[in-house]
Amino acid sequence: MPIDDLKLREAQPSDRPHLLLWDTPSDQELKALAYRENASLISYRTHLITRINTGNSFLTLHLWLERELDAIKAMCANTSNPVVLLKDLDCLITYLRVRSDSPITLFWQNLFYTRHLQSILWILLPSKLTPPNWDDSRILRI
């Protein structure tokens, strides 16, 4: 789908997460899309860095999936824009996928069933990280 044809504000259901699969977006393209769609462009990585407890030696994100899901929900609640375009979540997905005791399936399941988001959430991911059981009606591919 061409970038100019994207209509992120028309996503249904509007209170659940959607995936935008885009392998090579540039910062300029993302900023232009966010501007056109009146979206907040939020970096999961930057948001995570602001939440890190410097007293801990390790992140252990796999032990705190609920906290990470709550952080994603908070990103949707703490914006005045109708759409949130979340980038850099691939760092969490990759982290979870490489762990031997990976809770990645649980993470995808909990994210998929998240409801009552305050803004329409679009998660930007490379196509290789597409979850296997995500509903195609909630996916757009560039």
* 75 pLDDT more than 70: yes
pLDDT at res. 67:
86
This model's pTM is above 0.75? yes
Q: What is the pLDDT of residues 45-68, one digit of tens each?
A: 888 888 777 676 656 666 568 888
pLDDT at res. 1:
64
- Which one-letter amino acid corresponds to residue 102? S
Q: Over range 109-135, report the average pLDDT.
A: 93
Q: Where are the alpha helices (DSSP H) in 37-138?
A: 44-51, 65-77, 90-98, 104-112
- 19 with 134: CB under 8 angstroms? yes
* 94 pLDDT more than 70: yes
pLDDT at res. 63:
59
Q: Over range 109-116, report the average pLDDT.
A: 92
Q: Residue 37's closest CA among 100, 95, 79, 91?
A: 79
* Upper half-sphere CA count for residue 56 (Cβ side, 13 Å): 8
Show the domains of the chain with their CATH numbers: 3-141 (3.40.50)
Integer CA distances (angstroms), 14 to 83, 90, 103, in order: 9, 22, 26
Integer CA distances (angstroms), 57 to 53, 54, 60, 98, in order: 9, 7, 9, 19
* 74 pLDDT more than 80: yes
Q: What is the dihedral of CA 142, 82, 93, 74, to 10 degrees?
A: 180
